[in-house]
Amino acid sequence: MKDRLLFVDQYAGLAGAERILLAVATAPEIRKDWDVTFALPEDGWLARELRSHGVTVALFLGSNLHYGKKTFADYLRFLFKFVHQVFWFRHLIRETGTQLIYMSTPRYLPHLIFATLRQPVRIVYHVQCTYKGLVQQIMRTALRSSKVACVVSSSRSADLWVRSLVPSGKLVVCVPNWTTLPNGEAQSGTVTRNIELFTLRERPFRFAVIGRIVSIKGQDLFLQAARRLLMSGAPAEFHVVGSGACFEPDFERALRSEFGNLPGINFVGHVDNIADIYRRVSCVVIPSREEAFGLVAIEAMSYGIPIIVSDVGELPEIVDHGTSGLIFNSDNLEDLVATMTRIMHDSVLARDLSVRALQRVSVHYSGDVSLQRIGLLLRDLSDKSDSRSVRSGHGRHSVHAKSTMRDGSRV
């Protein structure tokens, strides 16, 4: 009988962390060893994709504690939901016979630590974002819990961040992110078309910024650069892809109010099939102020799209400046405008970046090796555990209370 693995995420939208979790939850390397259940607070794109792969989806009442300024009433509502969610997770864990939980959202990590108290269930936390301030302090406390058996970091910078928070005995494994978009004939056709467009000097030149609309992603800087270029008469369009509704709704509203009526600027909103965007744009800009990895970068590169990235987090490691992309100084409007102008007017450069970006991502960011490593890690955590037999609604299952780390310490 297979072991039971529960995935938990904070929302069902189309974001980088969700696509990584989808790839892990549906990978043959995982499914051959584990019966998978995926818990989500909403029935969206991710839930549909999971069901299409035969994964059981369990929906729960999500947290409504939004980003930004909060009132006392907000905290009261959060506390009520927190207690409700802890009991909901505890029931689901017992009902499914869950032995291991895999997640990448900080929002529900404290809930699951409480839900697994006095139960031989442990957590693997996959770091997709790094945090500062209060959230970092909460993460420090949560990740130090004995319930968190292992932390998977997605990049060198995320790995350093994690290791600064947890004790030396905690198992931390770095598994770099990978492109999760479909390969094959459709993608190859898009790549060929994208490269040809630079040769043909197609106009208008279409810039896009892709991701959740929050201040750390830098959409405001992108739009300021767009306004500057449009005022100079640049033959270009500027597309903002994504939503801030679940994160910083006030930030998105402010951007739409200031820039939404300018000709040449388009707020696309949420997109189910992000590949449709990659088929239509000339350049993807990633103006992040903070970034643990930058999944959008390797996705765009896999479609042969030139990218412009800020010099934060893992982005300078992903991009070879002037070879597979262009790097600008973070939060520097003048530098961003100059870099966008350069690529817009140099079709030879754009074409060369397109070809080399595709080559680089094919060599360094394939998912096969990463998924195999995660599969082996989960199996290793299971095999190295002290087994106990418990009864659940699904019969007897082997569950694991403690694990010996590679350095001999116990968690």
Total number of residues shown for the chain? 411
Note the pLDDT of residue 198: 53
Distance CA(389)–CA(374), nearest Å, equals: 25
Note the pLDDT of residue 170: 94
Question: How many other C-beta atoms lie within 10 A of the C-beta of residue 228?
Answer: 16
- Is residue 153 within 8 Å of 175, Cβ to Cβ? yes
Note the pLDDT of residue 181: 62
Note the pLDDT of residue 391: 35
pLDDT tens-place string over residues 29-42: 899 999 999 999 88
Return the CATH number of 3-178+366-403, one of 3.40.50.2000, 2.60.40.10, 3.40.1130.10, 3.30.70.20. Answer: 3.40.50.2000
pLDDT tens-place string over residues 292-330: 888 899 989 988 899 999 999 889 999 999 999 999 999
Helical spans, DSSP H, in 39-130:
45-52, 72-96, 109-115
Residue ranges with strand state E in 154-310? 171-174, 205-210, 236-241, 265-269, 283-286, 307-310
Q: Is the pLDDT of residue 389 over 80?
A: no
Note the pLDDT of residue 64: 60
Outline which parts of the chain fall under CATH 3.40.50.2000: 3-178+366-403, 185-364
Query: What is the residue-wise DSSP string for 214-270?
Result: -GGGTHHHHHHHHHHHHHTT--EEEEEES--TTS-HHHHHHHHHHHTTSTTEEEEE-
Q: Is the pLDDT of residue 247 over 80?
A: no
Note the pLDDT of residue 246: 67
Q: Is the pLDDT of residue 347 over 50?
A: yes
Global pTM?
0.79
Amino acid at 373: R
In 3D space, the residue among 342, 301, 295, 336 whose CA is nearest the CA of residue 314 turns out to be: 295
**Mean pLDDT estimate for the chain:** 85
Phi/psi of residue 124, nearest 5 degrees: -110, 120
User: Cβ-count burial of 194 within 10 angstroms (0-12 exposed, 13-18 middle, 19+ buried)?
Assistant: buried
Q: Is the pLDDT of residue 121 over 90?
A: yes
Distance CA(212)–CA(229), nearest Å, equals: 24
Residue range 355-381: average pLDDT?
Answer: 89
CATH 3.40.640.10 fits 185-364, yes or no: no
Share above pLDDT 90 across residues of the chain, in percent, rounded to a whole number = 57
Of 373 and 404, more confident: 373
Note the pLDDT of residue 44: 81
